């Protein structure tokens, strides 16, 4: 019997966990599989082993492990595979198929354009757009964000788009925002490439609040529960079914 295990990041912020669970529930309702569980890598329960065991206890013999992640980084390449390996040792008779993160997709970049449009502020000719990523020590993260930047340019034709990061990569969000303010842009649109609420989103907001400047700093909404994200995660789940007998 097939089961699906959604592995989300986890957070100390209760609202972030609630958002992740509610999003995954939306996707579960679109997947024709009776056994589906949500778990978390850290800070929140159930953890991966608990989620795995719940599926096994319900009779799952084939499990699709789905990373609820935007991009490929340490969690995808290291942490989740380690959890899979540990659980396969415990349940050697269970077949596991490991899905992919959402990755770079035009339909997801389109959300960024929509988030800018939703501000109801038309970007001026000198407007600066800062796409803010989580950041990672894996070099693929920066490659992916640069691709997203190029896609946003193609979709919006906004001329001045930069990428910055909240951790691990440069330029940092703080440095990029400071540079944009010092450059005298009349508008600075901050576009978080973040899925759910959490400490990082709150950090962006509090950093912006510290600036009392002539520039109009416009903080766009995160990616959230957008239907493109729902469809993208649904596709990642169904892709795993092709490799499970």
Q: What is the CATH number of the domain that holds 44?
A: 3.40.50.1400
- Looking at the structure, do residues 114 and 175 belong to the same domain, yes or no? yes
d(CA 21, CA 103): 20
The length of the chain, given as a count of residues = 245
- Looking at the structure, do residues 215 and 110 belong to the same domain, yes or no? yes
- Looking at the structure, do residues 230 and 159 belong to the same domain, yes or no? no
Domain tally, the chain: 2
Asked if residue 156 has pLDDT above 70, the reply is yes
Q: How many angstroms separate the first and last alpha carbons of the chain?
A: 10
**pLDDT (mean) for 207-232:** 93
At 33-44, the pLDDT tens digits run 999 999 999 999
- Looking at the structure, do residues 36 and 59 belong to the same domain, yes or no? yes
Asked if residue 30 has pLDDT above 90, the reply is yes
In a 13 Å sphere around the CA of 54, the CA atoms on its Cβ side amount to 16
Strands of 216-219's sheet in order across? 161-165, 128-133, 187-192, 216-219
Model pTM greater than 0.75? Answer: yes
Tell me the residue range of the domain where 140 lies.
106-219
Q: Around Cβ 119, how many Cβ atoms within 10 Å? A: 15
- Looking at the structure, do residues 70 and 12 belong to the same domain, yes or no? yes
**pLDDT (mean) for 158-172:** 96
Kindly give the residue spans of alpha helices, DSSP state H, lying in the chain: 14-28, 48-57, 74, 80-90, 106-117, 139-156, 173-182, 199-209, 227-241
- Looking at the structure, do residues 195 and 236 belong to the same domain, yes or no? no
Asked if residue 243 has pLDDT above 80, the reply is no
d(CA 85, CA 63): 13
- Looking at the structure, do residues 203 and 98 belong to the same domain, yes or no? no
- Cis-peptide, bond into residue 171, ω within 30° of zero: yes
- Looking at the structure, do residues 196 and 110 belong to the same domain, yes or no? yes
- Looking at the structure, do residues 47 and 119 belong to the same domain, yes or no? no
What integer best gives the mean pLDDT of the chain?
95
The pLDDT assigned to 212 comes to: 74
- Looking at the structure, do residues 213 and 111 belong to the same domain, yes or no? yes
**What percent of the chain is modeled with pLDDT above 90?**
93
d(CA 7, CA 77): 13
Asked if residue 19 has pLDDT above 50, the reply is yes
- Looking at the structure, do residues 94 and 27 belong to the same domain, yes or no? yes
At 61-117, the pLDDT tens digits run 999 999 999 998 889 999 999 999 999 999 999 999 999 999 999 999 999 999 999
- Looking at the structure, do residues 172 and 93 belong to the same domain, yes or no? no
């Amino acid at each position: 019997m097939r089961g699906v295990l959604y592995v989300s990041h986890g957070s100390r912020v209760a609202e972030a966990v609630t958002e992740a669970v509610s999003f995954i529930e939306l996707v579960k309702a679109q997947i024709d599989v009776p056994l589906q569980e949500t778990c978390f890598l850290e800070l929140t329960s159930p953890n991966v082993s608990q989620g795995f065991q719940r599926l096994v206890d319900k009779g799952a013999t084939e499990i699709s492990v789905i990373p609820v992640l935007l991009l490929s980084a340490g969690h995808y390449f290291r942490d989740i595979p380690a959890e899979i390996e540990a659980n396969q040792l415990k349940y050697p008779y269970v077949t596991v198929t490991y899905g992919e993160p959402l990755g770079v997709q035009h339909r997801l970049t389109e959300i960024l354009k929509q988030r800018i449009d939703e501000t109801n502020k038309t970007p001026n000719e000198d407007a600066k757009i800062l796409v803010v990523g989580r950041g990672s020590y894996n070099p693929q993260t920066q490659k992916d964000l640069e691709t997203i930047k190029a896609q946003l340019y193609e979709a919006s034709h906004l001329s001045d788009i930069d990428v910055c990061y909240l951790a691990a990569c440069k330029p940092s969000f703080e440095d990029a925002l400071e540079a944009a303010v010092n450059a005298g842009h009349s508008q600075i649109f901050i576009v978080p490439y973040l899925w759910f609420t959490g400490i990082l989103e709150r950090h962006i907001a509090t950093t912006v609040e510290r600036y009392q400047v002539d520039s109009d700093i416009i903080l766009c909404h995160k990616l959230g529960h957008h239907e493109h994200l729902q469809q993208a995660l649904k596709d990642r789940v169904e892709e795993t079914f092709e490799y499970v007998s």
